[in-house]
Structure 1
Amino acid sequence: MLLLNATYEPLTALPLRRAIVLLVCGKAEVVHDDPAGALLHSARLEVTVPSVIRLENYVRVPYRAKVPLTRAGVMYRDHYRCVYCGARAETIDHVIPRSRSGPHSWTNCVASCARCNHRKSDKLLSELGWTLPRKPTAPKGPHWRLLAGVRHTDPLWLPYLEPAA
């Protein structure tokens, strides 16, 4: 479940239990119901499981300039596709291998299928005659901090995760 700040900025993904507590206590409101969502029943209350909720009061979030590097973030950035062959990505590969002093950073990590990762091994791209279709970059924006730590992104969240234009 996606939690938005009072200004509709994405904050985090919440477990269902925490989201329901925020709703029942009046600290949050439902922004988007999941049409296929379940119903939760109690002795006196019936609540539809929402997909997106928004806090009633603004919460100040400390600014972090860098988006943390995570496997989920690299996969999302590369659209879950191998940068070398375009197949479904299963692993993360360091363009300049760690064994050759390559950094563990956004600009050196790419999504890769197991076959290409195994073929590349600890070689440089120039040794194999391979090239990258695009240079890996570090993502920017508050929505990336959220996406970097989430394993599953509900398609209903996408309108709320787009950067403000």
Structure 2
Amino acid sequence: MICNKVLVLNASYEPLNITSWRRAVVLLIKGKAEQLENNKTLIYYHFPLPSVIRLRHYVRVPYKRIPLTRRNILERDCYTCQYCNAQTEKLTLDHVIPRSRGGGDTWENIVTACVKCNIKKGNRTPKEAKMNIINSSKKPYSSLQFEIFKHTKANFNREWHKYIIGI
């Protein structure tokens, strides 16, 4: 059974979305896209399974706001404590500047922390607690970043890397 995902690029070569290989094949057959990369597996005689396709016509995509949710923060921080780099199932969200000191619920002020580090930091700033944040907390560019990261972890879909900046 084939379960590969395909990176879809806009006509301008910017990543647009990730789709199933079946949908990608339909776009190719209808002439709406061209195949840029494949994984050398044939799905039909002389028809390799696509891994990257590019749409022939530019599609205008409206800006879509990324909601500030626990899941999205965990995704952004790769399910890793931003103080000690631990990957554990017991992760919390920590306000860099505590709410009691005026710190708000923003992408820049919330990081993923293990319970131990969150307790150690307490109601202080990282500087006061003598703790460093490993990765700067910032708002993700798009939700597509999360999906692309998931599909390129552990050297999967290596051919996607030349079409994506920052991975």
Instruction: Please give the TM-score of this superposition, normalised by the length of structure 1.
Output: 0.67
Letter in 1 for 2:151: T
1:152 maps to what in 2? 150
Change (3 A) 1:150 1:74: farther
* Aligned residues with identical type, % of pairs: 36
Q: Which runs of 5+ in 2 are unaligned?
A: 1-5, 153-157
Instruction: Say whether residues 1:17 and 2:22 are aligned partners.
Output: yes
Change (3 A) 1:159 1:86: same
**Whole-angstrom CA distance in 2 between matches of 1:120 and 1:126:** 11
Instruction: Please give the TM-score of this superposition, normalised by the length of structure 2.
Output: 0.66
SS at match of 2:24: helix
Query: Structure 1 residue 17: deviation in Å?
Result: 2.1
Q: Which runs of 5+ in 1 are unaligned?
A: none
The count of corresponding residues between Structure 1 and Structure 2 is 152
**Whole-angstrom CA distance in 2 between matches of 1:137 and 1:150:** 18
1:83 maps to what in 2? 82
Change (3 A) 1:40 1:107: same
1:34 maps to what in 2? 39
Q: Does structure 1 conserve the Cα–Cα contact (< 8 Å) formed by 2:8 and 2:19?
A: yes
RMSD over equivalenced CA pairs, Å: 3.6
Q: Does structure 1 conserve the Cα–Cα contact (< 8 Å) formed by 2:70 and 2:93?
A: no
Query: Structure 1 residue 98: deviation in Å?
Result: 9.4
Which structure has more RCO (C-alpha within 8 Å, separation ≥ 6)?
A: 1
What do residues 61-119 of structure 1 show as CA deviations (whole Å, max 9, x unaligned)?
1235x5444666545643553211112265451326998686443113323346545x4
Change (3 A) 1:85 1:59: same
SS at match of 2:36: strand
